[in-house]
Structure 1
Amino acid sequence: MKIYNHIDEFIPLKNAAVTIGTFDGVHIGHQKIISQLKKEAKKIGGETVILTFFPHPRMILHPEDQSLKLITTMPEKAELLKQMGIDHLIITPFTRDFSNLSPEEYIKQVLIDRIGTKKIVIGYDHRFGKDRSGGLPELQAYSEAYGYTVTEIPEQDINEITISSTKIRMALQNGRIKEANEFLGHIFTLNGKVIKGDQIGRTLGYPTANLFIEEDYKLIPCDGIYAVEVMTQPSSKNKNQEITNLYASETVSGETVYQGMAYIGHRPTINGMSQNIEVNIFDFNEDIYHSKIKLLFHDFIRHDIKFNSLEELKTQLAADKIAVLKKFGA
């Protein structure tokens, strides 16, 4: 998949099959649209193009609203779209000037002149152009003049799509990880860099890797303990060396995947002030400071609790580990 960080970088195609949207989460609804897009591209011997925007339109049109948190960062979204077999991903800045294009200007200047669109796949309720005044009727009205055809994802197929991003955010914010993953059609992840913490977990026998997430718009699930897999970068060790960790496996591309328990919270037992994201990787003692890791969230174990002592916390962590291992069938 080729990625373009602005529509001006894109060279128009002869037969572009295009869909447009923010695609936050690349969830099961988006996957229906993308599947249809690939079918339509094949029919016309063309290539698939997804036009998406960053920042999210709400961040530009309503900057005073800081409540929007996104299920996927742009790199996460790009990786998911790559896995789905998309040919071209255009990430273009969403600006007020862009939002003020009339529907016809949007169609001609963006879809036709800049992309070379011959096929558009869109949901019945998709809106575009100034004041969101454009939609399926406008796309159909200009199709003959500009030489493209439109395929609509019908209302009965898209009703769940229009609400699933909200459903997913609410599920994650309430610890309903399995429900969120079901709507996503894949596992929710957090990606970040391992930074040094105060090493309290180490003194309790549960050393943790502290995760720093650069993107402040990334949605973080509610405080609590989670059953996670932890994906580390490909090891520089001898490829023929066996993995001896009972809770680890290796992906085709060389990353090692470990089982572990993640903690999200403000550490009330030690009167913590800021939110921490930490993970105890089972049977693991490698130095991964400054490395990038990925947490794959499989299930919620319990909410964050303030304990009367560190000894009580240690006892609970032992029970949490057993609960996590049960989630993984151990």
Structure 2
Amino acid sequence: MRVVSSGIEAVTPTSIALGNFDGLHRGHQWVIEPAIAYAHKEPQAIAIGHSSTGQPTRLCPTVVTFDPHPREFFSGNPKRLLTPLTEKIELLSQLGIEQLILLPFDRELAALTPREFISEILVKRLKTESISIGVDFCFGQDRSGNSTDLRAIATESGIEVNIAPLFKEDGDRISSSAIRQALTNGQLEQANAMLGRAYRLQGEVIHGQKLGRKIGFPTANLELPSTKFLPKYGVYGVQVCGQSFQQDQWGILNIGCRPTVDPKAENPTVEVHLFNYDQQLYGEILTLKLLHYIRPERKFASLEQLQAQIKQDCDRTKKLLNLT
């Protein structure tokens, strides 16, 4: 998938979905799908230009978002993301998006009026023919433009606008903030339902203290992107994907500061014990799909108690994953 940080470098004309899309949850997919569908219409049915050969110009299904996140820009505080860039690219590609445009969010962009944003960015730079947004989308200087304004202004330039209603389930809105709260509370099943897939952690296997091997449960320590949002500390049942595996592996994941073996630790570690794999994985990129929340982090009085608990965690996880 093509990733650019300037509308000048973009493949045009475009059919775009516009928003922040952190998490790419079911509500975001609801917004993105029309941009893909519109791009795949018969070119003759869309009033767009022609190439030098006289053939109708194909629209490029594109997601347009902002980097950094506007809230991060205005607050000055780094924002922990459900889907850091590498993960977002992979997920968007799977959905059928062919181009991701990361508009640099700076004072110049923030100062554009709603009309200037549409005219300068969407019309002139991206040659947009179709825009899909959520009903609660706000844009322009001081967030003064809303979805109704965007439709009114864009229509003047002949752009088709799709406004997706709020995506709700059982009366509750699906949102990135709701997913973060569920993950913080250890409500993994609820978070995964809102995402429409298992929450993932993706990172490189690095050297750790090798304490797991000493107590009979070797682990692979993962280095995650610094911006990745971590769920509640504790133990999880996971499915693990990696290039070294002929098939996906299963195991238990521990997220936390390991109070039993390192009481003074302040920074959390992310380490996974694989049930049926004990080869070296240093340097490998692993993707962990969190399927079950097993228990919260706790401190044990001895390594023997910790060993016994890990065995119980493994047994319970295998049962939940139907591996026994």
CA distance in 2, matches of 1:8, 1:47: 15
Matched, 1:266 2:261: no
* Contact 1:12 1:113 survives alignment (8 Å): no
Q: Residues 30 and 161 of structure 1 are in contact (CA less than 8 Å); yes or no, is this contact kept in structure 2?
A: no
CA contact (8 A) 2:11 2:60 kept: no
Alpha-carbon distance between aligned partners in 2 of 1:116 and 1:157, rounded to the nearest angstrom = 32
> Does 2:230 match 1:220?
yes
- Give the secondary-structure state (helix, strand or coil) at the position aligned to 2:90: helix
Cα deviation for residue 161 of structure 1 reads: 8.9
Partner Cα distance (2:178, 2:115) in 1: 33
Secondary structure of the structure 1 residue equivalent to 2:208: coil
Name the CA distance, whole Å, in 2 between partners of 1:10 and 1:37: 16
Alpha-carbon RMSD across the aligned residues, in angstroms, is: 2.0
User: What is the alpha-carbon distance in structure 2 between the residues aligned to residue 144 and residue 227 of structure 1?
Assistant: 49
For residue 319 of structure 1, give the secondary structure of its aligned residue in structure 2: helix
Q: Is the 8 A contact 1:11 1:114 kept in 2?
A: no
State yes or no: 1:295 paired with 2:288: yes
Give the deviation of 1:159 after TM superposition.
11
Match of 1:276 among 259, 269, 276: 269
Q: Residues 129-278 of structure 1 correspond to what in structure 2 (within 5 A)?
A: 129-155=140-166, 163-213=174-224, 215-234=225-244, 250=246, 256-270=247-261, 271-273=263-265, 274-278=267-271
- How far 1:43 moved relative to its partner? 3.8
Q: Specify the SS of the correspondent of 2:40.
A: helix
Give the match's secondary structure for 1:180: helix
Equivalents in 2 of 1:320, 1:104: separation in Å? 56
Cα distance in 2 between the residues matched to 1:52 and 1:139: 16
Cα 1:105–1:264 change in 2 (3 A) is same
The residue number in structure 1 matching 2:299 is: 306
Q: Which residue of 1 aligns with 2:73?
A: 60
Cα gap change, 1:107 to 1:210, in 2 (>3 Å): same
Cα separation, 2, equivalents of 1:82 and 1:21: 17
Deviations 1:49-102 (A, max 9, x none): 110122211111111x45x32111111111111001112221222212111111
CA contact (8 A) 2:6 2:101 kept: yes
The separation in 2 between residues aligned to 1:33 and 1:305, in whole angstroms, is: 41
The answer to whether the 8 Å contact 1:232/1:292 transfers is yes
Query: Gapped runs of 5+ residues in structure 2?
Result: 44-58
For the 8 Å contact 2:174–2:194, the answer to whether it is kept is: no
The whole-number CA distance in structure 2 between the counterparts of 1:193 and 1:143 is 44
SS in structure 1 of the partner of residue 156 of structure 2: helix
Report Cα offsets for 1:117-144 as digits up to 9, x if no partner.
1111122221111001112232233234
Q: Please state whether the residue corresponding to 1:142 is helix, strand or coil.
A: helix
Query: Quick one: structure 1 residues 17 and 162, their matched pair in 2 at CA, closer, same or farther if it must change by over 3 Å?
Result: farther
Cα 1:159/1:115, change in 2 over 3 Å: farther
Q: Distance in 1 between matches of 2:4 and 2:204?
A: 25
- Please state how far the C-alpha of 1:36 moved relative to its aligned partner: 2.3
Query: Aligned residue for 2:46?
Result: none
Gaps of 5+ in 1: 236-249, 251-255
Relative to structure 1, is the Cα distance of residues 268 and 143 closer, same or farther in structure 2, using a 3 angstrom cutoff?
A: closer
Specify whether residues 51 and 3 from structure 1 end up closer, same or farther in structure 2 by C-alpha distance, changes over 3 A only. Answer: same
Identity %: 36
| Aligned length, in residue pairs | 306
2:121 to 89, 102, 110: 110
Contact in 2 for aligned 1:181/1:188 (Cα 8 Å): yes
Amino acid at match of 2:139: F
Contact 2:235-2:295 within 8 A present in 1 as well = yes
Query: What amino acid is the match of 2:234?
Result: G
**Structure 1 residue 154: Cα displacement:** 3.1
Check conservation: 1:25, 1:184, Cα contact below 8 A: yes
Q: 1:244: which partner in 2? A: none
Partner AA of 1:42 in structure 2? H
What residue is the counterpart of 1:253 in the other structure? Answer: none
